[in-house]
Structure 1
Amino acid sequence: MSTEKPEDDGERPCPSILHFTVFTSNERRYLTYLLGYLTLASSLTATIYFPLIEPLSHQYDVSIQAINLTITLYVVFQALSPGVFAPISDSFGRRPVLLITFFIYCVASLGLSFNTRSYIALLLLRALQSIGGSAVISLAYAVVADVSVPAERGKILGPMLASTNLGPCFGPVIGGSIALSTKDTQWCFWVLLIFGASSLCLIGWTMPETGRSIVGNGAVRPHPVWRTWWSLLMNSNRELWNSGEASVGDNVGKTGVGVFSLPNPFSSLRLICYQDTSLTLWSAASPYAVWYCIQISIPIIFSQQYGYDDLFVSLCFLSGGTGVILGGFLAGRLMDRNYKKVAEKAGLLVNTIVGDDLREFPIEIARSRGSYFLHLLSVCALAGYGWAIECSIHPSVPLIFQFFIGMKCTIVLQWFSTLIVDIFPRKSGTAAASNNIMRCTLSAIAVALLQPLQNSLGKGWMFTLIGLIDGLSGISAVWLLQSNGLKWRRERLENN
């Protein structure tokens, strides 16, 4: 038996400390689509660049390795940026941080659009672009944790991440099409500038503050700094109640302004040291690194081995991208279904109004339910992908394997990315940042080892080895989390 949320007619419920959130279903739905659009900043900016590697090397008169260095630098700052901005958002709110990061992103994109000769400027501006665009995914996970109970987070995360995953799917196609049709790489940066400017406007005009240190459960009227430009223009604040109330336990004052503490940008690194969080972070980072390796290998394999031009190479990203999009939808639905199944088996009530106390809930089991099958599927798909390429089988075969690999990686990544936020509910931004640091660091290491492994083992054994490492380590991590995760979490909470 479960406690169900009463029918939502779109009206805001009476502000109460008994509600986890007073944001209506329509407002949460809008946030879902808005976050899906904003999080394209990370994936689209990274993948639109892949088909430009060779044209950029000619344009700036540098080697392919020099352009690859810009990718490496991008990934480095992709790991560092959330570690700075996400913890700050836990104390100072989501809106100001998102506005700052997208302003940085727009400035960098504008500079790249005008820079046609300086390689040093390209290097530095891509790093700045990464700083501005890479924190958004961690911030989006934090917003989801702000406005949804654990039992229903998949309902928001599924569509949000499916939208986000359009970046890896269409980014290379956009980049390849522009490079082939215009012979001018600057148009790609103009596209990113237009995207960044539109995102900045959407945040400023329409996105309400959700940070629980600022508005509690949404029932607190914030200072104008945290209000939308539209509400300031209309001299009203329809998106938040002027009640001064907040959720129980939230660090909110009567005026709606949180009692701030100076955030430590490197606090997310400490989370890696705990037993349960280190296993959770690995379980999220490993599939991300695997998929990054697949994406990096696509241009080389399908251009050199199958003889495709830039446009057709770009189209080869669509197969895996379709699996990634489908995986995003499936992950959200399965996540909420698994939560209810585990609660029912444990004899626990599911409270969708106040939210469940996860200190007594086996959330590790709920978020990892079904992972064993997915890891075994991954081993088989990666081995099949590697040997299909090694034996130069018809290109449709590796493309089919790409679909299943992309779907599996997305589902597992989403499950464990949600778990790390679940087990740190009051530091959701910091937790999401630690996830980003781990997966970007592991991806950078994996990409650096990719070519040496291929030279020594060949493509077949290389992808088989990647599959075995990802699958066996993932299975081990899931077993340990399901066996000891709740106990380790309780011990950590008691010690802290």
Structure 2
Amino acid sequence: MVDEKRKTMIKEMQDEKPYHVFDKRKKWGVVVMIGVAGLFSGLSSNIYFPSLDAIAKDLNVSLNAVSLTITSYLIIQGISPLFWGSLSDTIGRRPIYIYSFLVYIISNIALSFSPNFAVLLIFRGLQAAGSASTVSIGNGVIQDITPPAERGGFISFYQAIRNFSIAIGPVLGGLLANFFGFRSIFIFLLIISSLTLGAIVVFLPETLRRIAGNGSLRLTGIHKSLLQRFTKESSYIEDRDDTYTPPKVTSKTFIEPLLLLKEKDILLSLIFGGVIYAIWSMVTASTTGLFKQAFRLNEVLLGLAFIPNGLGTIVGSTIIGNLLNKSYKQAEDTYKQTHGIPATQSLPKKALPADFPLEHARLAYITPTTILFIFSTALYGFSLSPSLTSKPGWIALPLVLQFFIAATSNAVFAVNQTLVSDLCPGKGASSTALNNLVRCSMGAVGVAFVEQMISGVGVQATFLGLALVVVVVSPCVVVQWYWGMGWRGERGARKEREELAKGKGMGGKV
């Protein structure tokens, strides 16, 4: 029976069509383009940080009031991808990219005037609604065009491109705010987002598998890029089966992603990743106030102070991407050897076997990464002690610790996002949107209270306490390591039973 099952699996793998017709070069081209589109979520947030004090003075409000615009941004950033991501999993990636960028452009037009704090607060939320979707849609695109064996590297590279905005954003924000006023930030964002939208319209093809298949189905209407309209069609393009009917957008479309919270393994991943994200957000959001007070920096120097944080996000994402591909390859080779599958044969690309140790492959490097994050966060608070910050050159230490906090936290995000995507096949954008909701909700709460925490108990106790919070939630990873595969198997079996029952029901109607 076991031999027969193995033979059947090998035959299915041999008969399986390519996961996607795009070659490596075209896949990288698509990932670079969606990475540029994804820049705007982080850029819109981080370009803003160095100008917080200037905004408070210009609009005659307190720094705490201006911090509310960060909180509101994070809240909308968490909620809106559920709307956009669910739609992109239903009607396509390309139209949602276009619609969300239009929302973003309109918000930047309003923000470039910002006559008062109310306008700033409202349109910062609208700006978040337009930009945040690019992250979840981008992860959906990667799931569309890459099999699990390649996915970790592509997701990490995609995250590294997006994180470039975290490195360069504060520098640009500091320069623009210092020389042209904070409103020039939104004019700059308006110009580059308009150019990006133009590039999407011209070059980006539709990738949603229910519309484009593995890239071989003929596209029409808004799903077809301008470039495809004016160039010769590839030889592998074919017409869709006439039986296909486009899915309808209903209330279930938007509720369905929330149902993933019922899955134990997915919920544990989201909680752990959300806590790490909240703490990193608190470190970033409090930098302006802490460094201005401790080191007397102006807007330009404050912008430069964010560079180690931004570089850390890029370095962490890049390194973990290579490690994720390496650990997956090792797990795949071991699995094939154990199950008598030829070494040259790849595992099924659409649905991995239930007994494949996916969780071990993805979480292989999470322990040392988390330990380094805990120690860096704890030491960061002590590095900003008032008795030490007056020493010459002392600013280097908290900046180095910010680099490690950013590198390790973003490595965790890449692992977290890759695993959640693997656990939700066919729901790349929706699962990312849910991940975004949990992370941004926790981040919004953290950012809302970080200033009060620092004022109340001091900077040392604040970040030591946050490091201990990570220790408390670390068992989430341990539980998933030991029981995650079993839960994934149960979910797969339940889905098969539901599809079988649905098939019988349809047969009965006929």
Q: 1:36 to 1:106 in 2, by over 3 A?
A: same
Which of residues 340, 343, 351 in structure 2 aligns to 1:357? 351
Q: 1:157 to 1:132 in 2, by over 3 A?
A: same
- Cα distance in structure 1, aligned partners of 2:421 and 2:213: 17
Deviations along 1:453-490, one digit per CA (max 9) or x if unpaired, are 3233321121111112124413x111111100011122
Determine what percentage of the aligned residue pairs are the same residue: 28
Matched, 1:205 2:202: yes
Counterpart position of 2:227: 230
- Cα distance in structure 2, aligned partners of 1:242 and 1:356: 21
Matched, 1:322 2:290: no
Which of residues 290, 301, 309 in structure 1 aligns to 2:290? 301
Work out whether residues 18 and 354 of structure 1, in 8 Å CA contact, stay in contact via their aligned partners in 2: no
Which of residues 152, 159, 167 in structure 2 aligns to 1:161? 159
Q: Which amino acid aligns with 2:458?
A: G
- Cα distance in structure 2, aligned partners of 1:123 and 1:286: 26
Counterpart position of 2:464: 464
| 1:429-468 to 2 correspondences below 5 Å | 429-468=429-468
Which of residues 358, 366, 383 in structure 1 aligns to 2:378? 383
Equivalent position SS for 1:392: helix
Q: Which amino acid aligns with 2:51?
A: L
Matched, 1:190 2:190: no
Q: Which amino acid aligns with 2:411?
A: I
Work out whether residues 51 and 299 of structure 2, in 8 Å CA contact, stay in contact via their aligned partners in 1: no
Counterpart position of 2:388: 392
Equivalent position SS for 1:378: helix
Which of residues 127, 140, 143 in structure 2 aligns to 1:129? 127
Which of residues 321, 324, 332 in structure 2 aligns to 1:335? 324
Q: Which amino acid aligns with 1:317?
A: F
Deviation at 1:129, TM superposition (A): 0.9
- Cα distance in structure 2, aligned partners of 1:156 and 1:468: 32
CA-atom RMSD in angstroms? 2.1
Counterpart position of 1:117: 115
Counterpart position of 1:478: 477
Q: Which amino acid aligns with 1:294?
A: V
Deviation at 1:211, TM superposition (A): 0.2
Q: Which amino acid aligns with 2:135?
A: I
Work out whether residues 82 and 134 of structure 1, in 8 Å CA contact, stay in contact via their aligned partners in 2: yes
Work out whether residues 220 and 255 of structure 1, in 8 Å CA contact, stay in contact via their aligned partners in 2: no
- Cα distance in structure 2, aligned partners of 1:96 and 1:257: 18
Unaligned stretches of 5+ residues in structure 1: 1-15, 246-252
- Cα distance in structure 1, aligned partners of 2:442 and 2:166: 18
Equivalent position SS for 2:279: helix
- Cα distance in structure 1, aligned partners of 2:79 and 2:249: 21
Q: Which amino acid aligns with 1:227?
A: K
More helix by share: 2
Equivalent position SS for 1:266: helix
Deviations along 1:351-391, one digit per CA (max 9) or x if unpaired, are 65851632422211111112111111111111111111125
Task: Calculate the TM-score normalised by the size of structure 1.
Answer: 0.90
Q: 1:58 to 1:458 in 2, by over 3 A?
A: closer
Q: 1:276 to 1:318 in 2, by over 3 A?
A: same
Deviations along 1:213-265, one digit per CA (max 9) or x if unpaired, are 10111111122221002222x16544x943136xxxxxxx4487744463522
Matched, 1:18 2:17: yes
Q: Which amino acid aligns with 1:416?
A: N
**Which one is further off, 258-267 or 165-174?**
258-267
Q: Which amino acid aligns with 2:84?
A: F
Greater gyration radius: 2
- Cα distance in structure 2, aligned partners of 1:82 and 1:268: 10
Equivalent position SS for 2:426: helix
- Cα distance in structure 2, aligned partners of 1:99 and 1:372: 40
Counterpart position of 1:94: 93
Work out whether residues 95 and 226 of structure 1, in 8 Å CA contact, stay in contact via their aligned partners in 2: yes
Q: 1:20 to 1:56 in 2, by over 3 A?
A: same
| 1:237-276 to 2 correspondences below 5 Å | 237-238=233-234, 241-244=236-239, 253-254=241-242, 258-260=246-248, 262=250, 264-276=253-265
Work out whether residues 303 and 309 of structure 1, in 8 Å CA contact, stay in contact via their aligned partners in 2: yes
Work out whether residues 18 and 353 of structure 1, in 8 Å CA contact, stay in contact via their aligned partners in 2: no
Q: 1:483 to 1:457 in 2, by over 3 A?
A: same
Counterpart position of 2:29: 30
Work out whether residues 160 and 317 of structure 2, in 8 Å CA contact, stay in contact via their aligned partners in 1: yes
- Cα distance in structure 1, aligned partners of 2:244 and 2:186: 40
Counterpart position of 1:77: 76
Equivalent position SS for 1:452: helix
- Cα distance in structure 1, aligned partners of 2:231 and 2:248: 26
- Cα distance in structure 1, aligned partners of 2:401 and 2:116: 40
Counterpart position of 1:49: 48
Counterpart position of 1:250: none
Work out whether residues 286 and 451 of structure 2, in 8 Å CA contact, stay in contact via their aligned partners in 1: no
Work out whether residues 215 and 257 of structure 1, in 8 Å CA contact, stay in contact via their aligned partners in 2: no
Q: 1:103 to 1:179 in 2, by over 3 A?
A: same
Equivalent position SS for 2:207: coil
Counterpart position of 1:6: none
Q: Which amino acid aligns with 1:450?
A: V
Deviations along 1:400-452, one digit per CA (max 9) or x if unpaired, are 11111111011111111111111111211111111000000010111223233
Work out whether residues 291 and 302 of structure 2, in 8 Å CA contact, stay in contact via their aligned partners in 1: yes
Q: Which amino acid aligns with 1:197?
A: S
Deviation at 1:311, TM superposition (A): 1.2
Q: 1:358 to 1:268 in 2, by over 3 A?
A: same
- Cα distance in structure 1, aligned partners of 2:243 and 2:66: 51
Counterpart position of 2:145: 147
Deviations along 1:56-100, one digit per CA (max 9) or x if unpaired, are 223223332332222221111101110101011111110001100
Q: 1:124 to 1:70 in 2, by over 3 A?
A: same
- Cα distance in structure 1, aligned partners of 2:292 and 2:65: 20
Task: Calculate the TM-score normalised by the size of structure 2.
Answer: 0.87
**Which one is further off, 294-303 or 357-366?**
357-366
Unaligned stretches of 5+ residues in structure 2: 1-14, 496-510
Q: Which amino acid aligns with 2:208?
A: G
Q: Which amino acid aligns with 1:402?
A: Q
